[in-house]
Amino acid sequence: MSIKKFLNLFLKNLCIGCRTPAELNRYGFCPSCERKVVFIENPPDSQNLHILRYEGPVKDAICGFKYNRKTYYGKRFALLVYDFIRDNKLESFDAIVPVPLHWKKEFRRGYNQSAIVSINLASLLKKECLCGVLVKVKNTVSQTELSESERKKNVKDAFSVRRAGLIEKKKILLFDDVYTSGATTAEAKKTLLAAGARSVIVLTLSRA
Ligand SMILES: [Zn+2]
């Protein structure tokens, strides 16, 4: 056993997917989970980019991050997003804006998972992270049970911009953890553009 492997086991470095102690890759997955992680091929020049398929160990890791207080996963995910941005030469934006949660939801959860990744990502890229500029003003119901048209209606006017001067004429990277129908990010993007952002690229860690 290598010293590194021994130390990893000793320090109980648990895989973010299956929670077993193992030698982990850069993103926190063990070799077995790493093989099950599926990277998404985005069409060229897409303004809606997604990195991983929301399934298997990726889904388990994101659920742990969101619902099980594994906030330290945020650093691992930020590294993954950082590598994606570097590999795809997407660095030419000014600021990162996380998709916000309604304050009641954030209060219950204790944190906004997308903001945690965005803050870590901003520090890796030496960019500005604008938390609190885009706010969720409507406490929408869960999108999972809704049809596509109901989803759009559900998120309509759900967001608002505070201190619009901070995003005015800026190229924004809008970040979220999971992309499902795209209704949420589309509405958030529309709100940022209406408030004066020059452009908005949507980037999500995963796509359902
Ligand atoms: Zn694993």
State the distance from the centre of ligand 1 to the C-alpha of 61, rounded, in angstroms: 9
Architecture (CATH level 2) of domain 37-207: 3-Layer(aba) Sandwich (3.40)
Those residues whose C-beta lies under 8 Å from the C-beta of residue 185, and which sit 6 or more positions away, are: 48, 99, 174, 176, 179, 202, 204
In the chain, domain spans: 1-35, 37-207
State the distance from the centre of ligand 1 to the C-alpha of 142, rounded, in angstroms: 29
d(CA 188, CA 99): 7
State the distance from the centre of ligand 1 to the C-alpha of 134, rounded, in angstroms: 35
Strand partners, 52: 39, 206
State the distance from the centre of ligand 1 to the C-alpha of 178, rounded, in angstroms: 20
State the distance from the centre of ligand 1 to the C-alpha of 202, rounded, in angstroms: 28
Q: Report the length, in residues, of the chain.
A: 208
Pick the closest to residue 110 from 69, 159, 63 (CA basis): 69
State the distance from the centre of ligand 1 to the C-alpha of 60, rounded, in angstroms: 10
Q: Parallel, antiparallel, or unpaired for β 128-129 and 134-136?
A: unpaired
State the distance from the centre of ligand 1 to the C-alpha of 146, rounded, in angstroms: 32
d(CA 42, CA 67): 28
Residue 161, amino acid: V
State the distance from the centre of ligand 1 to the C-alpha of 90, rounded, in angstroms: 29
Can you give the pLDDT of all 208 residues of the chain as single tens digits? Answer: 677 666 655 555 899 999 999 999 999 999 999 999 999 999 988 999 999 999 999 999 999 999 999 999 999 999 999 999 999 999 999 999 999 999 999 999 999 999 999 999 999 999 999 999 999 999 988 877 888 888 888 999 999 999 999 999 999 999 999 998 899 999 999 999 999 999 999 999 999 9
Rg over alpha carbons for the chain, rounded to the nearest Å, is 17
Residue 11, amino acid: L
State the distance from the centre of ligand 1 to the C-alpha of 82, rounded, in angstroms: 21
State the distance from the centre of ligand 1 to the C-alpha of 41, rounded, in angstroms: 23
Those residues whose C-beta lies under 8 Å from the C-beta of residue 192, and which sit 6 or more positions away, are: 97, 134, 161, 167, 172, 174, 200
Q: What is the pLDDT of residue 2?
A: 74
d(CA 6, CA 191): 50
State the distance from the centre of ligand 1 to the C-alpha of 152, rounded, in angstroms: 36
State the distance from the centre of ligand 1 to the C-alpha of 141, rounded, in angstroms: 32
State the distance from the centre of ligand 1 to the C-alpha of 15, rounded, in angstroms: 5
